[in-house]
Amino acid sequence: MEDNHKKALVCGAGGFIGGHLCQRLKDEGYWVRGVDIKEHEYRKSAADDFVLGDLRDQRVCKKIVSDIQFDELYQLAADMGGAGYIFTGEHDAVVMHNSATINLNMAEEANRTGIKNIFYSSSACIYPEAIQLECDNPGLKESDAYPAGPDSEYGWEKLFSERMYLAYHRNFGMEVHIARFHNIFGPYGTWDGGREKAPAAMCRKVAETPEGGEIEIWGDGEQTRTFLYIDECLNGIRRLMESDFLGPVNIGSDELISINNLARMAMSIAGKNLSIKHISGPLGVRGRSSDNTLIEEKLGWRPATKLLDGMRVTYKWIAEQVKKRA
Ligand code: NAD
């Protein structure tokens, strides 16, 4: 390892965003260690050193920071999934226990070893359910987080961990940067199996269904969301880490779309005409969008990539996966 390289530790490197982040940091000249409980499912990690380990185990957390003085830690490891995993209630205890333990361990190890710069990935799921009951959500501002009332235990754990990292900042001077991601999507992410998010699910359903067929959508499909393409998410993470702004700050898009229209977008990219059947299923909030005033004010930047452009790239990759599997 050359000593003039900045050294970054990426927790959750075997996951969707962590996998892309390792590549991005490598492209920027970092030396990168990635850690995850599993290998990346869809490609070889770009990290210089990839450690398979369970971050719930404090001995593992100690070991990964013992031989190198890291300049930066990106903590993205979490027990998460799409609506099918988080909103049924069946995984609540496990989700809270696993993610909180990882964060407790890593905050402590980062502080103990003096890692200067820490990034923590929170989520739009921390925002109160009560202000997301309408489809035409005006955009969630960071200050809307309190009084708190997330609609999932996943969101409550994220809120707890935000507060814990901020407490480490206040009490120990740890430099933390917290982002609340809003539905990040793109290639090399989960696209089937129940943990996939709406853009990947729509691309898969459309890719799997022959012309004239039917796809299923949970609920009436009028629920709205915004989706941010992965490259813009990485731009936001890196800008936040280079700044002296702690956050929490939204990293999300403000291009609101209903799930029905997202499905139609995937159909038009594929050049297919399919009908939509609405079925019951876990839904989450009715409408959610990102207000990007704060990020623009603090970092002089807001994401600009259009949903359609990100969906084109994502559809192409998922259609290839569907073909390979067939
Ligand atoms: P992901 O599930 O692909 O990545 C998370 C990674 O954490 C996985 O590879 C998983 O194996 C790893 N992990 C879980 N438990 C672990 C453990 N005990 N030890 C080691 N590794 C463990 O998810 P992602 O989409 O890449 O999300 C990254 C982060 O961003 C997560 O913290 C997530 O909560 C947050 N986030 C993501 C989105 C999104 O739209 N993708 C939105 C809001 C917040």
Expressed in angstroms and rounded, the spacing between residue 15 Cα and the centre of ligand 1 is: 6
- Residue 184 CA: nearest ligand 1 atom is 40
Would you state the torsion angle of the CA atoms of residues 22, 4, 65, 154, taken in this order, to the nearest 10 degrees?
Answer: -30
CB atoms within 10 A of CB 48: 17
Per-residue confidence (pLDDT) for residue 3, from 0 to 100: 72
Per-residue confidence (pLDDT) for residue 26, from 0 to 100: 98
Would you state the torsion angle of the CA atoms of residues 38, 125, 22, 315, taken in this order, to the nearest 10 degrees?
Answer: 90
CA pair distance 184, 197, nearest whole angstrom: 9
Average pLDDT, the chain: 94
Q: Assess whether the C-beta atom of 287 lies below 6 angstroms from ligand 1.
A: no
pLDDT band, residue 2 (cuts 50/70/90) = low
In our burial notation (b when 16+ CB lie closer than 10 A, e otherwise), range 93-128 reads eebbebbbbbbbbbbebbbeeebebbbbbbbbbbbb
Q: Which of 171-180, 183-192, 193-202, 281-290 has the lowest mean pLDDT?
A: 281-290
Q: Which of these, 320, 288, 306, lies nearest to 139 by C-alpha position?
A: 288
Convert the pLDDT of each residue in 229-248 to its tens digit.
999 999 999 999 999 999 99
Per-residue confidence (pLDDT) for residue 83, from 0 to 100: 63
CA pair distance 124, 158, nearest whole angstrom: 9
Per-residue confidence (pLDDT) for residue 8, from 0 to 100: 98
Convert the pLDDT of each residue in 256-313 to its tens digit.
999 999 999 999 999 999 999 999 877 778 888 999 999 999 999 999 999 999 999 9
- Residue 54 CA: nearest ligand 1 atom is 19
SS3 315: helix
Q: Which of these, 92, 83, 80, 76, lies nearest to 36 by C-alpha position?
A: 76
Question: Of these residues, 127, 154, 165, 168, which one is catalytic?
Answer: 154
Convert the pLDDT of each residue in 16-45 to its tens digit.
999 999 999 999 999 999 999 999 999 999
Convert the pLDDT of each residue in 42-52 to its tens digit.
999 999 999 99
pLDDT of 1 above 60: no
Per-residue confidence (pLDDT) for residue 319, from 0 to 100: 98
> CATH second-level architecture of 7-184+228-251?
3-Layer(aba) Sandwich (3.40)
CA pair distance 123, 154, nearest whole angstrom: 9
Q: Assess whether the C-beta atom of 150 lies below 6 angstroms from ligand 1.
A: no
For the chain, give the percent of residues with pLDDT over 90: 87
Per-residue confidence (pLDDT) for residue 278, from 0 to 100: 95
CB atoms within 10 A of CB 152: 24
Per-residue confidence (pLDDT) for residue 68, from 0 to 100: 96
Homologous superfamily assigned to 186-226+255-288+305-325: UDP-galactose 4-epimerase, domain 1 (3.90.25.10)
**Shortest-distance Cα residue to atom 4 of ligand 1:** 15
The DSSP line for 34-95 is EEESS--SSS---SSEEEE--TTSHHHHHHHTTSS--SEEEE-------HHHHSSSTTHHHH
Of 76, 195, 232, the residue with max ligand 1 atoms within 8 A of its CB, to mutate for a pocket test, comes to: 76
Residues of the chain with CATH 3.40.50.720: 7-184+228-251
Whole-model pTM?
0.96
Q: Which of these, 46, 42, 102, 59, lies nearest to 77 by C-alpha position?
A: 102
Residues of the chain with CATH 3.90.25.10: 186-226+255-288+305-325
Expressed in angstroms and rounded, the spacing between residue 301 Cα and the centre of ligand 1 is: 25
Q: Which of 49-53, 215-219, 311-315 has the lowest mean pLDDT?
A: 215-219
**Shortest-distance Cα residue to atom 13 of ligand 1:** 77
CA pair distance 321, 326, nearest whole angstrom: 9
Identify whether 127 is a catalytic site residue.
no
Task: Give kind and range of the element (H or E) at residue 160.
Answer: helix 153-172
Per-residue confidence (pLDDT) for residue 82, from 0 to 100: 60
Convert the pLDDT of each residue in 75-96 to its tens digit.
999 998 666 677 788 999 999 9
Q: Assess whether the C-beta atom of 162 lies below 6 angstroms from ligand 1.
A: no
Q: Which of 65-69, 83-87, 193-197, 236-240 has the lowest mean pLDDT?
A: 83-87
Tokens of 228: 């941010």
